[in-house]
Structure 1
Amino acid sequence: MTEYKVKSSNSLVFELTKNEIIIGNLTYKSWFKFSAEFDLSNSKYQIEPKGFWGTTIELKEGEKILLKFRMNWNGDIVIQTYFNETKVGYIFKHRGIFKESFVLTDEAGTELLVMKPDLKWYSMNYGYQITTSDTFDTFIGKDILLMTSLHCANYYMSMMMAGM
């Protein structure tokens, strides 16, 4: 099991750390947009909505599509990765209202990571506590999945804030 923290300096920039060491940064181009980019280990990745309604979101490294995700009819986010030319599916879902968290599971329903939001009411910035499973820690592309999960959690959080 590994612990990560996410801090936001504002609503557009999020920093993922492990043991106080920066793993990556997620930066949104503007508020209310799904377009973003993140940096990991000297690599840049782009997150872009695709299609007429922008319901499918792609994550690319240059022109290469590494994963796609979309919201399911029940509010879960279905993620398809294409690491090493192998297609693997995951589900990202919101859990709870008062003790809310987000969970990433594999296709069999095994929990791979749990994210707990930490809202700073005075600044309206929020961060997350992330705990990953031992299985997740062995994944190729785990840092990309972490950053994608952060993007998915931010999507949910922005939807909840809009409803307030």
Structure 2
Amino acid sequence: MTVSAYQAKSTNSLSFDLTKDGKLIGKLSYKSWFKFNAVIEITNNPNYKFEPKGFWGTTIELKEGEKVLLKFKMNWNGEIIIQTYFNNLEKDYIFKHRGIFKESFILIDQEGNELLVMKPNLKWNNMNYEYQLTSSDIFENFSNKEILLMSSLHCANYYISLMMSYQ
């Protein structure tokens, strides 16, 4: 099994650059730190917007214009359930936190395959996060892998901000 490595670095407290081998793949930008609205810019693609839905804003939708491509929400046991609607096909994924000392997030498909591992690293000098992302062969063959990479980054930030708010 070969793996691909990506890096996500916070350029300031409101945006992240995702790169592979030093080449920019995309950018995730938040309007404010306390909201889950965000914009994804992927090289050579239209922009996509994350918008909270519902009274409590617990479901987050990713839209291209008015079309919903993906949505996610945290379930009762702290896992984030992601539903994608690419090419009018619905697929479900689980994004979850793993470990305490060797902390990471993982993205799993419906068959239980580990698609993506994200290791967060807090840069104490500027209080910004960086992530090391490692993907599987299965993930690398996805036609919408860039959107899923950027969405996983948003899920990790969402999870961390929710856990910080409970403390």
What TM-score comes out, normalization by structure 2 length? 0.95
Deviating more after overlay: 38-47 vs 72-81: 38-47
8 Å contact from structure 1 (residues 83, 140) kept in 2: no
Q: In the alignment, which residue of structure 1 is the partner of 2:104?
A: 101
In the TM superposition, residue 40 of structure 1 has moved relative to its aligned partner by 0.6
CA RMSD, 1 decimal: 1.1
Corresponding residue for 1:27? 29
Aligned to 2:73: 70
User: 40, 43, 49: which one pairs with 2:42?
Assistant: 40
Q: Amino acid of the residue matched to residue 62 of structure 1? A: G
Aligned residue pairs: how many?
164
Which 5+ residue runs of structure 2 have no aligned equivalent? none
Change over 3 Å in CA distance of 1:163–1:73 after alignment to 2: closer
Corresponding residue for residue 86 of structure 2: 83
Q: Counterparts in 2 of 1:91-130, with a 5 A limit?
A: 91-130=94-133
TM-score, with normalisation over the residues of structure 1?
0.96
Return the offset for 1:134.
Answer: 0.3
Q: Quote the sequence identity (%).
A: 66
Q: Which amino acid aligns with 2:93?
A: Y
From 127, 149, 153, the equivalent of 1:150 is 153
Deviations 1:95-131 (A, max 9, x none): 0111100000001211000000011111101110000
Question: Residue deviations 1:26-75, cap 9 Å, x none?
Answer: 00000111100110123200000011111111000111110111111100
Q: Which runs of 5+ in 1 are unaligned?
A: none
